[in-house]
Structure 1
Amino acid sequence: MPSDGFCFVSTWSGVHAVRTPQRPVCGSVGHAIPRHRLWRRRAGVLGTQASTVRSEGTVSVTAPRRQQGLIQHKREAFWFYRFLSLVYDTVVNPFHWTTEMRDASLRQAGLEEGRGRPDFKVLDVGGGTGFCTEGIVQYVSPSQVTLLDQSPHQMQVAKRKPSLQGVTFVQGDAEALAFPTDSFDRVVSAGSIEYWPEPQRGIAEAYRVLKPGGLATIIGPVRATNPVSRFFCDLWMLFPMEEEYRVWFTRAGFTDLKVSYIGPPAYKGIRQHGLIMGLTITGRKPAPGEAKIQLGPMRERLDQSKPMSLGERLIFLARWILGCIAGFYYFVLPFAIMLYAAIFIRDSKRANKEAA
């Protein structure tokens, strides 16, 4: 008799582990049940607010991931952002991470509780060029905000922004936060988890540095269900499924989880190709102290002073080049989706209108 198994089933309410009475078809790596070609939401929802995603009755099976993304390594990510920092605010934001998306996600973070409280401290993990931090300082004074990033090149851009004068800038590692336990009221991280070699460790660190009752909010990618896009997103970096986010938060000890979806208008409501910024998850720290999960030694540390051997240099270069190529797919994708939507979605709406 076939053994029981689990499939990760994706719906508009998220991705869930479902027990199957027989061996699931997703048991073999890379296989997925055929699905309809297009997921969409009503016009005006994506890109304007983070709302809990409702089920539309459509399911698909996402193959389990096989390995770490090529840029999901600290040294590779460091050099990836060395160049991306030059155009991050002008290339990434308009098509993947808009002001409307940021503001919707930060409303979920409960930052309004910090208004008028000089003792209220916020940590922005992986703050980069300070785009998310600019949203945070709309709630609290810059002097109450700490921006941490491993990339000095990204932070140089943030330091030049007038609205961030007074923010504390710290070059550091999201997986080894150099702050005392129980020291921040809020931890926010946007567009950073995809580069963490050990996302569970980064979330456990966010739990540790929060004060009891504090909230951690992580905003990050959503894994593609389309086979071609899933290949490129897995090759590039970490695009988690909703269930993975939930498991990481729960294992760390967070309670009262809240998950919502966001998306850029450029994607026209189409989610099957994955989103670089597509999900917001918030959890509350119920008690003081460290995370509930016990983790061993860190797998990776960024140490630029340590010389690399010839073999390590070749591996690094191969990862970096191939990872950049895979990432370029997501630079082209929004334009392809906009073209697709202009041709097919508009025609579909016109046909429905004429039929009515």
Structure 2
Amino acid sequence: MTSTHSTAQVRVRGQARRTSVLPASEGTRPISAPRLIQHKKEAFWFYRFISIAYDQLLNPQQYTEAMREDALETADLNSRHLKVVDVGGGTGFTTVGIVKHVDPENVTLLDQSPHQLEKARKKEVLKGITIVEGDAEDLSFPTDTFDRYVSAGSIEYWPDPQRGIKEAYRVLRPGGVACVIGPVYPTFWLSQFFADMWMLFPKEEEYIEWFTKAGFEDVKLKRIGPKWYRGVRRFGLIIGCAVTGVKKDHGDSPLQLGPKAEDVSKPVNPITFLLRFLLGTLCAAYYVIVPIYMWMKDKIVPRGMPI
């Protein structure tokens, strides 16, 4: 990974400050490192089961409505007439936030999971949007199509996040804004262990580098987290930051990439697949327990003290 220095707009606990971002090549885990439930087939089956209670069980812990509104501020949804795509939008939780600002007929929701999308179709507020099954790393839309690209809680499942962000650049019109909302690598050793085992938890500087390499300008990063978290980076979050960039010119990204990291058409060993899936699900349980633990500590530890 080529080293680049960037500057990000980082907001911590509601306060904005200019922060120099270190080169992504210093102390970073290899993006190619094997992780459980990061590949598309594993993610497909993972969401086949958790889609049953996704909005009721997982989202309220990791990605609250307040966090969604905080993150979508960075997408600059300043007109009802913007053409917006929500990539990896699942049950449409983030899409619900988008249609508060944009007319539904101008919004497209894309996800690879038909089970998640079925939940989105049942939401009355999302009537009128376009719903598409598709791959975040290989979007079916023409170049220069959308004014805004939003993706929340999806990048952690991409085998090649650089390719997905390159696609975000391609499908945007000049002046369009991409907003990727995702997890950030934790600082606590046990959280790091489960993050490395489970799926992709990028470092903040990696987000910045991916956007910059894809050709985006005015790249900014904003930290987000549940209100009961104090010291967000210590234990890790499924949703930890919102990163934005602006496309300045027509056409595809100037970045050239090789073949995809994962070919979903290739057969998989069913025993290996099952073992990876079960282990990954156990790792996911840690990130269900952590927000409950943090919520309890928030109730016990006096205000003003880190937890």
Give, in whole Å, the separation in 2 of the partners of 1:190 and 1:337.
Answer: 22
Contact between 1:125 and 1:147, CA under 8 Å: does it hold in 2? yes
Give, in whole Å, the separation in 1 of the partners of 2:304 and 2:150.
Answer: 40
Aligned to 1:276: 238
- Residue 164 of structure 2 aligns with an amino acid whose one-letter code is G
Q: 1:348 Cα deviation (Å)?
A: 7.7
Secondary structure of the corresponding residue to residue 244 of structure 1: helix
Secondary structure of the corresponding residue to residue 238 of structure 2: strand
- Residue 323 of structure 1 aligns with an amino acid whose one-letter code is G
Contact between 2:185 and 2:233, CA under 8 Å: does it hold in 1? no
Give, in whole Å, the separation in 1 of the partners of 2:17 and 2:38.
Answer: 28
Q: How does 1:221-300 map to 2 (within 5 A)?
A: 221-300=183-262
Deviation by residue 1:178-212 (Cα, 9 ceiling, x = unmatched): 01000111100000000000000000000000001
Aligned to 2:271: 314
Q: Is residue 2:111 matched to residue 1:156?
A: no
Structure 1 residue ranges, 4+ long, deviating more than 4 angstroms after superposition: none
Q: How does 1:118-137 map to 2 (within 5 A)?
A: 120-137=82-99
- CA change 1:348–1:292 in 2 (3 A) is closer
Aligned to 2:28: 64
Q: How does 1:134-213 map to 2 (within 5 A)?
A: 134-213=96-175
Contact between 2:28 and 2:203, CA under 8 Å: does it hold in 1? no
- Residue 234 of structure 1 aligns with an amino acid whose one-letter code is D
- Residue 28 of structure 2 aligns with an amino acid whose one-letter code is P
Aligned to 1:330: 287
Q: How does 1:46-61 map to 2 (within 5 A)?
A: 52=16
Deviation by residue 1:114-139 (Cα, 9 ceiling, x = unmatched): 22x3xx31000001000000011111
Secondary structure of the corresponding residue to residue 108 of structure 2: strand
TM-score, normalising length from structure 2?
A: 0.89
Q: 1:217 Cα deviation (Å)?
A: 0.3
Give, in whole Å, the separation in 1 of the partners of 2:303 and 2:110.
Answer: 47
- Residue 276 of structure 2 aligns with an amino acid whose one-letter code is R
- Residue 64 of structure 1 aligns with an amino acid whose one-letter code is T
- Residue 319 of structure 1 aligns with an amino acid whose one-letter code is R
Give, in whole Å, the separation in 2 of the partners of 1:256 and 1:68.
Answer: 32
Contact between 1:126 and 1:150, CA under 8 Å: does it hold in 2? yes
- Residue 140 of structure 2 aligns with an amino acid whose one-letter code is A
Deviation by residue 1:40-89 (Cα, 9 ceiling, x = unmatched): x7xxx4xxx6x54677xxxxxx9532513211101000000001111111
Give, in whole Å, the separation in 2 of the partners of 1:13 and 1:110.
Answer: 16
Aligned to 1:109: 75
Secondary structure of the corresponding residue to residue 221 of structure 1: strand
- Given candidates 52, 55, 64, the residue that maps to 1:98 is 64
Root mean square deviation of aligned Cα: 2.3
Give, in whole Å, the separation in 1 of the partners of 2:90 and 2:18.
Answer: 32
Unmatched 5+ residue regions in structure 1? 1-5, 15-40, 56-61, 350-356
Contact between 1:252 and 1:293, CA under 8 Å: does it hold in 2? yes
Q: 1:258 Cα deviation (Å)?
A: 1.5
TM-score, normalising length from structure 1?
A: 0.77
- CA change 1:13–1:143 in 2 (3 A) is closer
Q: Is residue 2:78 matched to residue 1:78?
A: no
Identity %: 52
Deviation by residue 1:226-279 (Cα, 9 ceiling, x = unmatched): 111001011111111110000000000000112111101242444311111010
Contact between 2:228 and 2:298, CA under 8 Å: does it hold in 1? no
Give, in whole Å, the separation in 1 of the partners of 2:46 and 2:155.
Answer: 15
Q: Is residue 2:264 matched to residue 1:346?
A: no
Contact between 1:222 and 1:279, CA under 8 Å: does it hold in 2? yes
Instruction: Give the structure with higher Rg (CA).
Output: 1
Give, in whole Å, the separation in 2 of the partners of 1:299 and 1:190.
Answer: 21
Q: 1:216 Cα deviation (Å)?
A: 0.3
Give, in whole Å, the separation in 2 of the partners of 1:177 and 1:281.
Answer: 20
Give, in whole Å, the separation in 2 of the partners of 1:347 and 1:140.
Answer: 38
- Residue 163 of structure 1 aligns with an amino acid whose one-letter code is V
Contact between 1:187 and 1:215, CA under 8 Å: does it hold in 2? yes
